[in-house]
């Protein structure tokens, strides 16, 4: 069986994008009225809904938490209808727990947790439709929801993936590109103001010399996403400010 | 970098909106307030909100956030836990408030120290899930709010329905307990919790001082029920419109809503129509 052609001779990808092109991004803050903050984020066909509750009274006193900083709790849920094959994932699915833990670690660094002592911030992430780049979409959506909840953060956290196919780095992989065994996928989450990296994750092999090229592409993608997120936040904030000033 | 030296004018609110990580000023003369953090000499915003400056203090007011208490605030809370000599109360804040056994009134207004027998029957005063109308008395060292209900008007809430709104929509004012012309009492908690109930006259409340911790509702007629539901829906509607919730705005919304059935108020088209007329009334009143 031959490997599927991921990059045509004309330099186009399976979904018609060029190598350094992001998928279409659509995002909106404040989509739920019962949550403190919420966001809907669409990157191509990957769709994520995030609800943030808190800072609120912690449910359990976690061991080793002195209470000087807020706890961040992330739950990730994959809808059974999110993939073409209907499948119910259990709560204890290792893959699901892993993504939740990545999101938690990313935001533990970005949220100013010392501002909210003795409290807990709950982030509920729902993957509604899956088409690759789950982690990046979850992080981007969670950022938007946290900003919407008015939680103090050092900066936005913007995430983006990049892969490496036929000697050229590819930006923002979709499910077809991601599932191909030969494609290494690198997920980068960064704080755009300082350029600090909050998360760097890759599970396959990539020639060390190429890492820098792939990172550079991913970081460019993060900057684009930052602009999109900022736009959505300003739109939501401007809307509320206009209503309040009446 | 934005110019924060200009005097704040209502019209340029949109121009003063900042997002997390954006630089506000690098002038070392300014002090950092809420919603900001410093790195070197530069002050950055940590939330999305409106920049405010008071003398040399720069702060960012987030447009949506949880209630942060101030001493003297009148609030509505829900008991979450009965603990030793205290109740824990959900006050929509970043941690639960505390109502000490020593800061409640005893039935009948008896003045004495709380004894061990009071401690054993704490659930007969407030049990889990009960709603309390209270005032913020002080802070604890860890930042939790200490509440008190030492007044005849404070205490357990009955005979009505609960509505939660954005806390920033309820402004602090002289009174938070109103009797609306439609014969409905409303408690506007500064923490965004609102209680809409049947009107009970103050004289009757005082006569019933023995039963202030009763769990039984008084008889409520169908007409009263509908009025309560209508006011609750009006509050919900004002919340959706992101309009300040005050006695006047609730009365306006109530009056405008009279043309529709109470149960339809939150349906898409009726809500849109009401939004229009309520906003017009509020604008007219403001000018």
Query: Which of A171, A215, A223 is closest to A194 using CA atoms?
Result: A223
Domain boundaries, chain A: 25-244
Across A13-70, the runs of DSSP E, i.e. the strands, are: 25-29, 37-43, 46-56
Same topology between domain B10-62 and domain B74-286: yes
Nearest CA in chain A to B44: A154
The complex scores an ipTM of 0.88
Of B10, B46, B64, nearest to A240 by CB-CB distance is: B64
CB A141 within 8 A of CB A50: yes
What's the rounded Cα separation, in Å, for the pair B34 and A148? 17
What's the rounded Cα separation, in Å, for the pair A33 and B124? 34
CB contact (8 A) between residue B19 and residue A193: no
CB A40 within 8 A of CB A31: yes
Q: How close is the nearest chain B Cα to the Cα of A102, in Å?
A: 22
Domain boundaries, chain B: 10-62, 74-286
Find the mean pLDDT for residues A191-199. Answer: 93
Q: Which residues pair with A39 in a beta bridge?
A: A29, A50
What's the rounded Cα separation, in Å, for the pair A121 and A138? 16
Of A33, A57, A238, nearest to B17 by CB-CB distance is: A238
Question: Which comes out higher in pLDDT, residue A143 or A4?
Answer: A143
Q: How close is the nearest chain A Cα to the Cα of B85, in Å?
A: 19
pLDDT attached to residue A2: 44
B10 pLDDT exceeds 60? no
Q: Is A208 on the interface with B (CB under 8 A)?
A: no
Q: Which residues pair with B131 in a beta bridge?
A: B78
Q: Is A75 exposed, middle or buried (0-12, 13-18, 19+ CB in 10 A)?
A: middle
CB contact (8 A) between residue B66 and residue A191: no
CB A187 within 8 A of CB A200: yes
CB A55 within 8 A of CB A119: yes
Could you tell me the end-to-end alpha-carbon distance of chain B, in angstroms, rounded to an integer? 35
Chain A residues closer than 8 Å to B44 by CB: 154, 193
A135-160 pLDDT, tens digit each: 999 999 999 999 999 999 999 999 99
Give the pTM: 0.91
What's the rounded Cα separation, in Å, for the pair A3 and B6? 63
pLDDT band at A85 (very low <50, low <70, confident <90, very high): confident
pLDDT attached to residue A63: 55
What three-state secondary structure class fits A218? helix
CB contact (8 A) between residue A237 and residue B63: yes
pLDDT band at B202 (very low <50, low <70, confident <90, very high): confident
CB A147 within 8 A of CB A37: yes
Q: Are strands B74-83 and B97-100 parallel, antiparallel or unpaired?
A: unpaired
Q: What does DSSP assign to residue A7?
A: B
B148 pLDDT exceeds 80? yes
CB contact (8 A) between residue A147 and residue B13: no
Looking only at Cα atoms, what is the longest distance across chain A? 66
- Count of C-beta atoms within a 10 Å radius of residue A15: 14
What's the rounded Cα separation, in Å, for the pair A109 and A93? 25
Where does B10-62 sit in CATH, by number? 2.40.50.100
Query: Which of A158, A160, A145 is closest to A72 using CA atoms?
Result: A145
Q: How close is the nearest chain A Cα to the Cα of B22, in Å?
A: 8
B186-199 pLDDT, tens digit each: 999 999 999 999 99
pLDDT attached to residue B21: 92
CB A6 within 8 A of CB A185: no
What's the rounded Cα separation, in Å, for the pair B239 and B194? 11
What three-state secondary structure class fits A34? coil
Q: Two tokens at B47?
A: 């939330």
B2 pLDDT exceeds 60? no
Which of these CATH numbers, 3.40.50.620, 3.20.20.70, 2.40.50.140, 3.40.920.10, describes B74-286?
A: 2.40.50.140
User: For A25-244, which CATH class?
Assistant: alpha beta
């Amino acid at each position: 069986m031959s490997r599927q052609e991921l990059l045509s001779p004309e330099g186009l990808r399976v979904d018609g994008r060029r190598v350094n092109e992001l998928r279409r991004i659509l995002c909106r803050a404040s989509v739920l009225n019962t949550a403190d903050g919420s966001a809907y984020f669409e990157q191509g066909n990957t769709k994520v809904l995030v609800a943030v509750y808190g800072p609120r009274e912690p449910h359990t006193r976690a061991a080793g938490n002195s209470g000087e900083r807020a706890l961040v709790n992330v739950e990730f849920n994959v809808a059974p209808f999110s993939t073409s094959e209907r499948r119910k994932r259990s709560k204890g699915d290792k893959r699901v727990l892993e993504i939740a833990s990545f999101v938690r670690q990313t935001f533990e660094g970005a949220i100013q947790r010392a501002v909210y002592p003795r409290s807990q911030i709950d982030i509920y992430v729902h993957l509604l439709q899956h088409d690759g780049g789950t982690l990046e979409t979850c992080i981007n959506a969670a950022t938007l929801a946290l900003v919407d909840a008015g939680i103090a953060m050092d900066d936005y956290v913007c995430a983006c993936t990049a892969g490496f196919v036929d000697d050229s780095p590819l930006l923002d992989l979709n499910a077809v590109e991601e599932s191909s065994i030969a494609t290494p996928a690198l997920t980068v989450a960064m704080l755009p103001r300082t350029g600090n990296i909050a998360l760097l994750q890759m599970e396959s092999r990539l020639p060390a010399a190429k890492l820098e090229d792939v990172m550079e592409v991913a970081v460019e993608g993060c900057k684009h996403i930052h602009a999109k997120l900022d736009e959505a936040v300003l739109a939501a904030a401007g809307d509320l400010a206009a209503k309040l000033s009446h | 970098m934005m110019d924060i030296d200009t005097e704040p004018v209502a019209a340029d609110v949109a121009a003063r909106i900042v997002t997390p990580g954006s630089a506000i000023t690098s002038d070392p003369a300014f002090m950092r307030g809420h919603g900001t953090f410093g790195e070197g000499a530069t002050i950055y915003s940590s939330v999305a909100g409106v920049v405010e400056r008071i003398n040399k203090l720069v702060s960012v007011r987030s447009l949506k956030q949880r209630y942060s208490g101030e001493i003297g605030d009148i609030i509505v809370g829900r008991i979450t836990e009965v603990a030793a000599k205290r109740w824990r109360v959900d006050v929509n804040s970043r941690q639960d408030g505390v109502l000490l056994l020593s800061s409640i009134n005893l039935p009948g207004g008896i003045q004495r120290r709380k004894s061990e027998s009071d401690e054993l029957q704490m659930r007969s005063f407030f049990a889990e899930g009960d709603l309390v109308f209270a005032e913020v008395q002080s802070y604890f060292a860890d930042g939790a709010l200490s509440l008190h209900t030492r007044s005849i008007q404070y205490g357990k809430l009955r005979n009505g329905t609960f509505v939660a709104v954005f806390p920033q929509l309820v402004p602090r004012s002289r009174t938070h307990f109103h009797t609306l012309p439609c014969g409905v009492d409303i408690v506007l908690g500064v923490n965004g919790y609102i209680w809409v109930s049947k009107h009970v006259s103050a004289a009757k409340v005082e006569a019933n001082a023995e039963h202030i911790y009763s769990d039984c509702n008084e008889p409520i007629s169908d007409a009263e029920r509908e009025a309560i539901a209508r006011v609750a829906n009006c509050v919900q509607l004002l919340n959706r419109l992101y309009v300040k919730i005050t006695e006047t705005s609730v009365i306006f919304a109530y009056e405008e809503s009279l043309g529709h059935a109470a149960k339809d108020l939150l349906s898409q088209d009726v809500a849109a129509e009401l939004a229009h007329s309520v906003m017009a009334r509020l604008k007219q009143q403001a000018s």
